[in-house]
Amino acid sequence: MIAFTAQSVYTPSSTISDPVIVVEGGKITTLGGRESTSLPSNIKLTDFGDCTIAPGFIDIHIHGSAGFDVMQVDQSGRSGFERFLAKHGVTAYCPTTIAAPLDATLAALERLADAIESASANGAAGAKPLGIHLEGPFLSHAKRGVHRPEDLIVPNLRTFEQLWQAARGHVRVLTIAPELEGAPEVITEAARRGVTVSLGHSDANLDAAQRGVAAGGRHATHTFNAMRALDHRDPGILAEVLTNDNLTADVIADGFHVAPSVVDLLIKAKKLERVVLITDAMSATGMPDGHYRLGLIDVELKAGRCTANGTLAGSALTLDRAVANVMNFAKLDLQQAVQAASFNPAQVARAKGKGMLQPQADADFVALTADGKVRATVVRGELVQ
């Protein structure tokens, strides 16, 4: 049994001043005010001083960081990557695939399933993979971004089943363009299996977007990016994403992918509780300028931007930075910004016991300074060094 304290805790819906969190077996057993909580005299108490403890961040769209790509064959960089994430406040993540030749995708999914299954067994300190985000191969050619055209597949249940089998069912999020032939069937089947279906990389008009929602779509992938632009006479998918309260939406708040004022617009339209911060980070994140891999694509990192042949290719964003950015872009306070990086993504990814601090929840949390800087991260009760 160990305990943690700081100036305050965001649960994140409420604030507890002068708190204590007691942890046993990787779970929170007690959370309350220090005065009213009796602790065993010999308990080890870690004090984060003037910081606020908040639920650990959850990145539901990330391809890599620290030189590591989640699809790569050599897995030796994984622990360094997961430690890098934890240093930026992330305690759980959805490794995200991009479109690749089917065989390569299936092999990558098997490796990711291994990583997910072994993460629940071993205690190496770092962010833990929750489940896979399949970004592709069922994407629109018109809005493919840097996904290679030859790797895109028309949605069909047979391919979905192959992906599902290779991932051994560890699929949490599926990004799909709802206007494609076969998309409604795949959306319905994925939703039936408990996958969060996210509309994205899409050129859908309003009707097609609404059909995607009717089939089971519940979320939107990097809203505004790789999406048919909003036109006031031909509203398209963005009008559905912005106005349908049954849809949550995520955004890359690096200031490059979406202008700061449009991030503010998104939060105003969706309300804070339906907005999720993601990074879409790729292996170049945290590395010096140069050339890096995104799946099979060569990407150049220069001055904070990742591009392939002039098109934005993932980001070099970290989630702690996204939290600090939205405080500026949308005039949020730290508690609100934290919610969009912890509680909200946990809901979208249906991550039980994560995204909120309360008894029985996982002891995954981050100690933040008043301006959102990460002072320390704890994963399953273990301080990440």
Is 254 near Zn ion (CB under 5 A)?
A: no
Stretch that binds Zn ion, among 4-12, 273-281, 285-293, 359-367 (CB under 5 A): 273-281
Stretch that binds Zn ion, among 36-44, 227-235, 274-282, 373-381 (CB under 5 A): 274-282
Identify the DSSP state of 141.
Answer: G
325: amino acid identity, one letter: N
Q: Tell me, residue by residue from 128 to 167, as one string, x for binding to Zn ion by CB under 5 A and - for no binding.
A: -------x--------------------------------
Of 30, 12, 13, which Cα lies nearest the Cα of 21?
30
Least separation in angstroms between residue 361's CB and Zn ion is 28
Least separation in angstroms between residue 28's CB and Zn ion is 32
Q: Which residues of 186-215 are buried (b: 16+ CB within 10 A; e: fewer)?
A: bbbbbbeeebbbbbbbbbbbeebbbbbbeb
For Zn ion, the closer CB: 11 or 96: 96
Least separation in angstroms between residue 136's CB and Zn ion is 9
Stretch that binds Zn ion, among 123-131, 152-160, 277-285, 351-359 (CB under 5 A): 277-285
Catalytic, out of 254, 280, 362, 364: 280
Least separation in angstroms between residue 225's CB and Zn ion is 9
Least separation in angstroms between residue 51's CB and Zn ion is 31
* 280 a catalytic residue: yes
Structure tokens at 98: 């991009």
The whole-angstrom separation of Cα 90 and Cα 378 is: 10
Stretch that binds Zn ion, among 115-123, 275-283, 331-339, 366-374 (CB under 5 A): 275-283
What SS3 state is found at 266? helix
Q: Are 101 and 151 in contact (CB under 8 A)?
A: yes
> Alpha carbon 367 to chain centroid distance?
19
Residue 21 Cα distances to 16, 28, 30, 344, angstroms: 11, 7, 6, 22
Q: Which of residues 308-367 bind Zn ion (CB under 5 A)?
A: none
**Taking CB positions, which residue lies at the least distance from Zn ion?**
280
The whole-angstrom separation of Cα 376 and Cα 367 is: 5
The whole-angstrom separation of Cα 239 and Cα 217 is: 15
Least separation in angstroms between residue 222's CB and Zn ion is 7
For Zn ion, the closer CB: 135 or 189: 135
Of 100, 187, 111, 181, which Cα lies nearest the Cα of 147?
100
Number of residues that bind Zn ion (CB under 5 A): 2
For Zn ion, the closer CB: 135 or 364: 135
Residue in 59, 254, 280, 362 binding Zn ion, rule: CB under 5 A: 280
The whole-angstrom separation of Cα 162 and Cα 307 is: 31
Q: Which of residues 7-36 bind Zn ion (CB under 5 A)?
A: none
Give catalytic residue positions. 280
| Residue numbers at the binding site for Zn ion (CB under 5 A) | 135, 280
